[in-house]
Amino acid sequence: MASRLRRHRRTKIIATIGPASSTPEMLAQLFESGADVFRLNFSHGTHEDHAARIDMIRALEHKFDRPIGILADVQGPKLRVGAFRGGRVQLQTGAEFQLDLNPAPGDTRRVNLPHPEIIAAASIGATLLLDDGKLRLRVLRKREDHLLTEVVNGGPLSDRKGVNVPDVVLPIPALTAKDRADLDFALERGIDYIGLSFVQRAEDVAEAKAIAAGRALVMTKMEKPQALDNLDAILAASDAVMVARGDLGVELPPEEVPIAQKRIIRAAQLRGVPVVVATQMLESMISAPAPTRAEASDVATAVFDGADAVMLSAESAAGQYPREAVNMMDRIVARVERDEDWRRGIDAKRPDPEHSSADAIAGAAWQVARTIGARAIVAFTSSGASALRVARERPDCPVIGLTPSVETARRLAAVWGIHALVTDEIHSMTEAVALSARIARQEGFVQHGEEIVVVAGVPFGQSGTTNALRVAKA
């Protein structure tokens, strides 16, 4: 069995797998290069494809004796226009264009919009964006069966291109029939996170959590302006969040996206909700062996902001250089985290503890570890909550998360600074301290005689009882 890999950085890396990375050999290369969590994109591929990938990831986990998280990202509702005669038209800026319920092929004057809920919810003056925002329409008139619009920004439009409605909360559930079937499959296969698309309200998250029923955590994708309007309620309902900048950038002006990113990260940090920054991070590495300097700076910004993880999409799923992309992200993250300004910035954003004994213990662990120069904080955790609370403090030293649950260890693979391991159940603080010292030495975090901080809940085996702190020598 290979030795366990230890990451020399705190920010985690999520790599999407697809046609370019779906062999055991490539998955092993991605993991060794730095991937901590693998994302399955259910917008593409069959259940058989994803089943094979899950099996490969679990085999990799066994080979390296390290927990690996799996994120199953469901597609969500896709709003699209219908088809055109000839497959394509050119819309002229300033012209009128009708979107209606008539299924007949469209032309330069009209096209089918097979979504009566958009027609019902839109108002005069509302904006509709077509083809990822390349075309912009403004509603001039509304009837039960159509919207008459003015073409504000024209251009070519072909069959079944996407429709975005940034000004309107649509009465559409975040989960489609396809999503529900995908979720049933993924949950049966033991994935760790559900990526939830098209979230507008906290109720969308609650629906997914009810389906998951504790079998996986829900990572809410922040990709609609309406979600930003309901940010606090959505964060309260979510287990984790993703700043999905590609879709967010369609419905928000480009200059608003960096502001939204910082706002979401900060709000998530205050709540102790893990937050991922995603989309177009090393986009040019789909077809080039090195990123642009702007892309390297973009990844660095997410790390400086304190995101728990950064994510690769097409770069690792369909690009020509999947291993190089993961390796490059690993190098950028590790370099930023060696910078003094990074540490100062992380400390400046450290949230105040909440008024609970568990948060008091986590805050004390941060303070004690810094004061004595501890080499690691060891957090015993059943559900993951204790380790999450310690990670929220963003301590100087690594956090070793020890849990008897492999599911918890896999979920912690996406959380800032946590080196998660599966251990046997323990029954006393004396046993916990001895185990902590031994594992911290074995994993290379400490030398014999160096100090560690141990955080646990007494009595052991009960979730949500973090109430004890010890300082020990390894």
Give residue 462's pLDDT. Answer: 72
What was the pLDDT predicted at 279? Answer: 94
Residues marked as catalytic: 39, 80, 221, 279
Per-state percent for the chain, helix, strand, coil, to nearest 5: 40, 25, 35
Residue stretches of the chain with pLDDT short of 50: 1-3
CB 277 within 8 A of CB 223: no
Q: What is the pLDDT of residue 355?
A: 87
Q: List Cβ neighbours of 177 (8 Å cut-off, separation of 6 or more).
A: none
Q: Are 70 and 52 in contact (CB under 8 A)?
A: no
Sign of CA dihedral 91, 95, 101, 102: negative
3-class secondary-structure state, position 39? strand
Spatial neighbors of 400 by CB under 8 A, at least 6 apart, are: 376, 377, 378, 379, 418, 419, 420, 421, 436, 439, 440, 443, 445
Helix (H/G/I), strand (E/B), else coil: 362: helix
Q: Is 187 left (phi over 0), alpha (psi -120 to 50) or beta?
A: alpha
Round to whole Å and give the CA distance between 156 and 92. 9
The span from the CA of 438 to the CA of 448, in Å, is: 9
* pLDDT value at residue 4: 67
pLDDT score at 459: 83
How confident is the model at residue 458, as a pLDDT? 83
Q: Long-range contacts of range 100-109, CB-CB < 8 Å, 24 or more positions apart?
A: 100/145, 100/146, 100/147, 101/145, 101/146, 102/145, 102/146, 106/81, 106/82
Q: What is the pLDDT of residue 2?
A: 41
Domains of the chain, each with CATH number or no CATH: 12-76+174-342 (3.20.20.60), 85-164 (2.40.33.10), 357-473 (3.40.1380.20)
pLDDT in tens, 52-78: 999 999 999 999 999 999 999 999 999
Phi, psi of 331 (to 5 degrees): -65, -45
pLDDT digits (tens, 9 = 90+) for 100-140: 999 999 999 999 999 999 999 999 999 999 999 999 999 99
Q: Decide: 27 and 328 in contact? Cβ < 8 Å.
A: no
Reported residue count of the chain is 474
pLDDT tens-digit profile of 395-409? 999 999 999 999 999
